[in-house]
Amino acid sequence: MKHFLSINDAPNLQSLIDLAMVYKKNPNVDREKGLNKTLGLLFFNSSLRTRLSTEIAAHNLGMQVIGFSNQQAWNLEFGEGAVMDQQNAEHIKEAAGVLSTYVDILGVRSFPELADRALDYSEPVMNGFLKHLSIPLVNLESATMHPLQSLADLMTIRELQKTAKPKVVLTWAPHPRALPQSVPNSFASCMLAAGIDLTITHPEGLELSPDFTQGATITHNQQEAFEGADFIYAKNWSSFKEYGKGTSLHSDWMVDGKKMKLSNEGRFMHCLPVRRNVVVADEVLDSPQSVVLQQAENRIFTAQAVLSKLLDHGK
């Protein structure tokens, strides 16, 4: 694997998950692999899990890590041919060129602006780095995708599934702020790539881009979707159609105990951070049905598998 920008970059999803399972059993088994290698992690947005789990993953492989925020660096210019007489002090060409000499793998987190759909979906930041780096790039959540999260989600489902073909439901849930479509986009494409039976449920008008959901069953009836589900994955996302429009309406879409009862003793999943009693009721999040901490823990081992495959390519 040369880069990890989307789920499609994994040549074999199952073998990545298998490697993550090996690392979960013995995190130190490849401690020599990344010796004298450095991972850089650049954050344009907040993070708890992604930053720490990826750092731990790199340490497990013997790598050194330098994490930093764009607020500690210069404002970057991405425009080709830009006359840089405004706010941005450094061009991505130099920044990426310099970083390529400092670290061996770079991870970047950069959320969408949620104002211009075509711009966000062209992935200006991630593709800017991709174009000008000469080292492997890892997506730590970009404008439209969060593939490291989806790998951990798939691993968690594989660990917990009781039948060969579990029913997985992705449900939209309320949130006071407009959020990216990155997590649901990647989750849907990951489930579908893994051949998992996926149902997506959301209020009318909140359809995701069909580029990520082709092959899923899509319904506006949340109750019907929950019936017989083995896994309920809750997530808010803002509108793709009326791009970036906030969606605090539909408070009746919160996941609660009554809805979970419709499922097949389903497990509750969320990528975190989660707003209690807005997205999901305490009674669900505090119940044994919730597997959100297992998902978060698996972020370490799936990131470790990804870094390991990227180190292989560097040889």
What minimum distance in Å lies between the beta carbon of 165 and ligand CP?
27
* CA 114 – CA 101 distance, rounded (Å): 33
Binding-site size for ligand AN0 (CB under 6 A) equals 7
Task: Determine which residue in the list 182, 185, 186, 238 makes contact with ligand AN0, applying CB under 6 A.
Answer: 182
The yes or no reply on residue 180 touching ligand AN0 (CB under 6 A) is yes
The option from ligand CP, ligand AN0, none interacting with 290 (CB < 5 to 8 A, set by class) reads none
205: its two tokens: 């008008």
The yes or no reply on residue 183 touching ligand AN0 (CB under 6 A) is yes
The yes or no reply on residue 179 touching ligand AN0 (CB under 6 A) is yes
What minimum distance in Å lies between the beta carbon of 179 and ligand AN0?
4
The option from ligand CP, ligand AN0, none interacting with 182 (CB < 5 to 8 A, set by class) reads ligand AN0
* CA 50 – CA 42 distance, rounded (Å): 11
Strands (E), the chain: 38-43, 64-69, 76-77, 90-91, 105-109, 137-139, 167-172, 197-201, 217-219, 231-235, 267-269
Give the per-residue contact string, 267-306, with ligand CP (x = CB under 6 A; - = no): ----xxx---------------------------------
Task: Determine which residue in the list 6, 50, 181, 182 makes contact with ligand CP, applying CB under 6 A.
Answer: 50
Q: Contact residues for ligand AN0 (CB under 6 A)?
A: 141, 179-180, 182-183, 271, 273
Q: Contact residues for ligand CP (CB under 6 A)?
A: 47-50, 141, 149, 271-273
